[in-house]
Every structure is written in structure tokens, then in C-alpha cells.
Amino acid sequence: MRTTRQVRAVLGSLRAAPEHTSYGYEVITEVNLTSGSVYPILRRLEAAWWLQSREDPSPLAGRPSRRSYYWFTDLGLREAAKVPGP
């Protein structure tokens, strides 16, 4: 996986408490990036099996479910440890 400054920042935020599930918005505020940058990174990390997520139903009727919480897989923990910090 290509590790840009933004990817390293997101990984750094998640690595701060690897046993913790992180809310997507929490990552956004910690790394000071836009949701348009962070959520695609989270999706790519999930597609690479570095992360898992949980879908929560939308509180608004008729809206699709949304991925809310993210956490490292075992593979993700190993691979993220190889990536230098932001």
C-alpha cells in the first residue's frame, strides 16, 4: 500500500490505541484532514484487510447504513508497525 503523509497520519491515529475501536469522525479531528480524505483512506485500508469496520443503521429513515467504527486486523497491526509515523 502506498503510504502518503495522509495515510501515515490516519495510521498514526489508529495506532495510538490499537485495542480501541475508532470512530471515523474521531480520526478526522485527530489528523486534521477532511472527511473526503480520511474516509477513502479508511476504505482502502479496509479493502487491504488492514482494518475492519462495523456498520450502524442511519438514524434517518431511508438513509443507508454507515460505517462508524474502525479497528485493526492482525494483519493490519503487523503492516502498520512497518510504516513510519507521520
Q: At 82, which helix (H) or strand (E)?
A: helix 74-82
Report whether pLDDT(80) > 90.
yes
Report whether pLDDT(76) > 70.
yes
- Global pTM? 0.84
Helix (H, G, I), strand (E, B) or coil at 21: coil
C-alpha cell at 36: 473526503
Q: Residue 13 maps to which CATH number? A: 1.10.10.10
d(CA 41, CA 35): 10
What is the rounded radius of gyration, in angstroms, for the C-alpha atoms of the chain?
13
Share of the chain above pLDDT 90, in %: 60
d(CA 66, CA 68): 6
Q: What is the pLDDT of residues 15-53, one digit of tens each?
A: 888 778 888 889 999 999 999 999 999 999 999 999 999
Total structural domains in the chain? 1
* Residue 27: domain span: 5-56+66-80
Residue 50, domain member (yes or no): yes
Residue type present at position 14: L
